[in-house]
A = this chain, B = another copy of it.
Amino acid sequence: MFEEIIKNVYAKTPLVHTITNYVTVNDCANILLACGASPIMSDDQKEVEEITSISNALVINIGTLNERTIQSMLKAGKRANELSHVVLLDPVGAGASTMRTSTTFELLKEVKFSVIRGNISEIKTVAKGSGTTKGVDADVSDTLTDENLDEAISFAKGLSAKTGAIIAMTGKIDLVADSKKAYIIRNGNAMMSKISGTGCMLSTVIAAYCAANPEQLLDATAASVCAMGLCGELAYDKLIKNDGGTSTYRTYIIDFMSKMNTEILQGGMKIESR
């Protein structure tokens, strides 16, 4: 399983156009390089279409969005769709402000996404903007547990059917689904929530893996989620040995992504499908 996915990233070195927040943008650039891809950041309306054209994938992350960059997201997204590029939406903070929620809805209306990745709360906001019935949303808890997993799987499959996108809901347990199949992933470490940007970084890695594996978007997304979680585990083991804190932990996570390969992934991934 996932034999070729990482190899393809290294073989193709996908260029990932990333429109993202200024908080974690440096980590996103560095983890893209670490995972075998290349980053290009550009958010001005006058150039985003050209930059997307020379890229292999587009990430739209709405953290620290503003009126100027929203227009750039829409333009880049439409152009990427015309070129059939992989386009990923990371709806950071959707639901936390009217602006973020309405931007998420506008993006969902104007751009066809290959993958949507967020925490459960953000994904539930996405569902509201995709016309999924209210009842279903309300049924899904904000924390994924073994008890509510079946419900969450139905919800994610349903949302994938509505949007046409792979849905990646990340938290203590991660869930990656298309309309027919869901992966449940139990990699990761609780300390990942003590550093800024693990979600943003994961989104860029997913885009890179998907760009290098366009025929296997579901598996490429699941492999990315496993890889990122596994980096969090390996980094934690090393951190404990070296008595480090949260900033060293961030460094180690990116370090382990730069050493990731098929063998490490297959030896450490904790994944099942339903």
Decide if A225 is an interface residue (CB 8 Å cutoff). Answer: no
Decide if A65 is an interface residue (CB 8 Å cutoff). Answer: yes
Write the nearest CB–CB distance from A143 to chain B, whole angstroms: 16
CA distance in complex: A22, B68 (Å): 15
Given the known A-B contacts A30-B196, A258-B194, are A97 and B42 also in contact in the complex, defined by CB atoms under 8 Å? yes
Decide if A255 is an interface residue (CB 8 Å cutoff). Answer: yes
> Contact partner of A51 among B50, B96, B244, B253, CB < 8 A?
B96
**A41 near B64 (CB under 8 angstroms)?**
yes
**A254 near B247 (CB under 8 angstroms)?**
yes
CA distance in complex: A31, B181 (Å): 39
**B93 near A40 (CB under 8 angstroms)?**
yes
CA distance in complex: A193, B29 (Å): 12
> Contact partner of A46 among B30, B67, B247, CB < 8 A?
B67
**B47 near A100 (CB under 8 angstroms)?**
yes
The 8 A CB mask of A248-262 against B (1 = contact, 0 = none) is 101111111111000
Give the chain B neighbours of A99 by CB distance below 8 A: 44, 46-47, 50
Give the chain B neighbours of A23 by CB distance below 8 A: 25-26, 29, 39, 41
**A259 near B245 (CB under 8 angstroms)?**
yes
Decide if A98 is an interface residue (CB 8 Å cutoff). Answer: yes
**B97 near A51 (CB under 8 angstroms)?**
yes
Decide if A24 is an interface residue (CB 8 Å cutoff). Answer: yes
> Contact partner of A44 among B34, B54, B66, B256, CB < 8 A?
B66
Decide if A137 is an interface residue (CB 8 Å cutoff). Answer: no
CA distance in complex: A252, B51 (Å): 32
> Please, which residue of chain B has its CB at the minimum distance from the CB of A24?
B26
Which are the 6 A-B pairs with shortest beta-carbon distances? A245-B255, A247-B254, A29-B196, A245-B258, A47-B97, A47-B99
- Chain A positions near chain B (C-beta within 8 angstroms): 21-27, 29-30, 33-34, 39-44, 46-47, 50-51, 54, 63-68, 93, 96-100, 193-197, 244-248, 250-259
